[in-house]
Amino acid sequence: MSESVLKPPPHTAPTAFTRAQLDWVPWLEPLAAEAMTPRHMASLVDAARVKSPYFRLLARDPDALEARTRTDKDIFYNPDAGLPRAERELAAAATSRFNGCLYCASVHARHAATYSKREDDVQRLLDAGVGADLGERWNAIVAASVALTATPSAFGPEHIERLRRADLDDLAISDVIHAAAFFNWANRLMLSLGEPAAPSAT
């Protein structure tokens, strides 16, 4: 007798990309918070993530989760030079928009808008897609993220040169590569282990 997937509680599925806060409901059983061992808890890195069904599900493979999270944090939060935080988030949002992950796109579009103060441009990316005209520097970052996200990859020297012309140094270009690559990891987990839900009206 095999296990069964979960039937999510009644909810409204979002049908458009948004910067609004979304919930996420799992299709597989997360660990119960009270059943988590110290190793499971440590794998969350941030103890507050015990509230998240997504992280409690990934905690079933704690070594992979912990290493994933520490990779994520350094790519996006390391303040040492390179690409500004807003543009690391832009690469994450563009990758998520292209792969079609509404949940990931909502979180990282929100971050991109917060850090860049360019709410209209971020919203245009969500509404019109990765072909939206966001000004040359952002267009170059989006185009590089999209090319690297295609399977097989369409990323080539022309993307590097365009980023250089947009005044990115090689550390910043490496940050674009890592941010887009990381969201090819995150999108696949978010899309395939559960689904986004519009928060219930209160």
Applying the rule CB under 8 A, the residues between 57 and 96 that interact with other proteins are 57-58, 60-61, 63-68, 70-71, 73-75, 78, 80-82
The answer for residues whose C-beta is within 8 angstroms of residue 114's C-beta and 6 or more apart is none
Which of positions 97-116 make contact with other proteins (CB under 8 A)? 98-101
Residue 86 or 189: which CB sits closer to other proteins?
Answer: 189
Contact by Cβ (8 Å): 196, 15: no
Report the nearest approach of other proteins to the CB of residue 63 (Å).
Answer: 4
Strands (E), 72-136: none
Shortest Cβ 168–other proteins spacing (Å): 9
125, HSE (Cβ side, Cα atoms, 13 Å): 34
User: Do the beta carbons of residue 83 and residue 172 sit within 8 Å?
Assistant: yes
Backbone torsions φ then ψ of 23, nearest 5 degrees:
-95, 175
Contact pick of 51, 171, 199, 200 for other proteins (by CB under 8 A): 171
**Shortest separation between residue 117's beta carbon and other proteins, angstroms:** 26
**Rule CB under 8 A: is residue 161 a binding residue for other proteins?**
yes
Residue type, position 18, single letter: T
Stretch that binds other proteins, among 26-34, 84-92, 117-125, 133-141 (CB under 8 A): 26-34
Nearest CA to 108 out of 140, 86, 130, 82 is that of: 86
Q: Which is nearer to other proteins, 85 or 178 (CB)?
A: 178
Site track 123-152 with other proteins (rule: CB under 8 A), x = hit: ------x------------------xxxxx
The helix-helix angle for 136-149 and 157-165 (nearest 10°) equals 160
**Does residue 23 touch other proteins according to CB under 8 A?**
no
Shorter beta-carbon distance to other proteins: residue 33 or 185: 185
Rg (CA), the chain: 18
User: Would you count residue 20 as binding other proteins (CB under 8 A)?
Assistant: no
